[in-house]
Each structure stands twice: as structure tokens, then as C-alpha cells.
Amino acid sequence: MNKLVFTFTLLIGTLLTLHADFLPRQVQSQITQTNGKSTWIDTPLPIGSSGIVVHAFDDTHKTITAEAVVTQTKEGKSEVVFRKFKRLRQPALPEYNIKPQKGDILILNYLYNRILPIVPDKTQLDAFQRKYGSSYDIIHPDIFAAQLYFDHEPKPSKEEFVKSCYQNDSSLLYFAIEDKGYFVDCNSFKVIAQEPLAQPVDNQKAQKPLYSRLPKIKTRLGGIISDDSIGDYNLYYKKMLGLK
């Protein structure tokens, strides 16, 4: 148990603050009232912003007991709902059965310092790196593409993105779609911010399913039987994010 607590403590220590002005910065708040399922904080945050609940056993031992997701914002406050924390799940070790309680600490915008950009070409990736390279630890698309290549998944699903976030200690994705860039929370899969793109996505020239320097991603049968292309780049990701 001490080993598990130590692992969680190390992970909490890696949290960093966002530097992008239009995105919410990391928010830390003590839970003052809760029914064990949700709470309210005195900070308005985008719906879909996620984080963690940290419980302290004593002055030196802490652990993450739940995931937290913002579900609504009104009158300058945000409702935060608690969910099971799955990021560090280890089947060989017992799980905590500790509900969030008064005195626990909420850390929202958790692991937003690392971001995976999903873009259609090198030009879009270079533009993103120039703009945000000093604010984020950017995960190169090659890393995600390698995951898809070995999993034989040319049509990445939400589950594939979540898997990548877990493997790379990140909670933030960026999708370049049509004429906008969308920042997406990997845990809730909600758009939490967006911006105009300097250069719109050319669907005819877009590399699918995303820009990378890896070989073409195919199904286990090499695309002989099943369609191994996402087709329309913009449409595929718009549907995934629920955009109109």
C-alpha cells in the first residue's frame, strides 16, 4: 500500500500550470461540502474540464481517490462530479474504496501541461509547435501513430485517444479541423477551448488518420477486406467531437 501511495504522490508532483491565456489554468480547491458524488467550487470552468481528488492520510501520505469532471457552470461557480480514477489502475493491487469527502483537495486541469496535436499535415504541426512549444510539452503525433500502427487501427476511436493519454501522462488533445483548432479534454472528450486556424485544413491533401512520419496504418488484414481509411478527415473528427 505504501508503494502505491508513493507512486501517486510522485505523479501529483508533476503537475504544471498552463500558460495559454485563453485556457483555464490549473485550479486547486479544498472540498468544503459534498455528498460523495459531486461538489461545487467558486470558480467558473469550461464544461468538460477534468482533474483529480486527492486525499491525505497524514502530512506525508496522499493518494488520488477519484477523477473529477466539470458538468455545469452557473453564477460564477462550477459543479464537479466524481468518477472512478482509472489512469493508474493496477489489477494486482487492491483499490481504494474512499469516497471524496470534506477536506480533500480538488486539482482541476490535471496534466494539461502535455498535449497531443492531431493535425492533417506538417505545415499545421509546425505552426502549432511554433505557437505553443514554449507553453506545453508537445507529444509528437508519431507516438500516437506508432500506437495505431501496432494496434492495426487506421480509424482511431475515442478509446484509442484515451489510451494514448494514459500512456503519455496527458489529459489534453488538440484537433485541427476545417478552419478551427479545438482543445479537447481527454477524459471527458469535451471541447474546452477553440481558436481560428491561420490556414484552413485542406481535406484533399490531409494525411489520414493524422499527420505522422510513419508508414500507412492498415488493419490486420492489410485493408484487403475492410475499409482502412477514415475517408473525409474533417468529417471524421467533427463527428467524433460532436461538432456541427
Give the residue among 21, 226, 53, 67 at the shortest CA–CA distance from 162.
Answer: 67
Strand locations in 11-167, DSSP E?
27-30, 38-41, 50-56, 62-74, 77-83, 105-108, 114-118, 137-138
The dihedrals phi and psi of 87, each to the nearest 5 degrees, come to: -60, -40
Query: What are the tens digits of pLDDT across the range 185-200?
Result: 999 999 999 999 999 9
Instruction: Provide the sign of the torsion angle of the four alpha carbons 232, 233, 236, 238, taken in this order.
Output: negative
Distance in angstroms (rounded) separating the CA atoms of residues 118 and 244: 19
Mean pLDDT value across residues 26-53:
95
Domain ranges, ordered by start, for the chain: 2-108, 114-241
108-143: b (≥16 Cβ within 10 Å) or e: bbbbbbbbbbbbbbeebbebbeeebeebbebbebee
pTM attached to this predicted model: 0.86
Place 218 in a pLDDT band, splitting at 50, 70 and 90.
Answer: confident
Query: What are the tens digits of pLDDT across the range 28-41?
Result: 999 999 999 999 99
More reliable by pLDDT, 157 or 2: 157
Query: What are the tens digits of pLDDT across the range 158-194?
Result: 999 999 999 999 999 999 999 999 999 999 999 999 9
State the fold for domain 2-108: Thrombin, subunit H (2.40.10)
The dihedrals phi and psi of 183, each to the nearest 5 degrees, come to: -90, 125
Q: How many helices (H) does the chain have, and how many strands (E)?
A: 5, 11
**pLDDT higher than threshold 60 for residue 22:** no
Place 240 in a pLDDT band, splitting at 50, 70 and 90.
Answer: very high
Query: What are the tens digits of pLDDT across the range 99-123?
Result: 999 999 999 999 999 999 999 999 9
Place 244 in a pLDDT band, splitting at 50, 70 and 90.
Answer: confident
User: Which residues does 148 contact at the CB level (< 8 Å), separation at least 6?
Assistant: 154, 156, 160, 209, 217
Cell of 138: 508537445
Strand order in the sheet with 50-56: 27-30, 105-108, 50-56, 62-74, 77-83, 38-41
Site of grid cell 492531431: 118
Query: What are the tens digits of pLDDT across the range 59-92?
Result: 899 999 999 999 999 999 999 999 999 887 766 6
More reliable by pLDDT, 182 or 95: 182
User: Which residues does 228 contact at the CB level (< 8 Å), separation at least 6?
Assistant: 154, 155, 217, 218, 219, 222
User: Which residues does 152 contact at the CB level (< 8 Å), separation at least 6?
Assistant: 217, 218, 219, 220
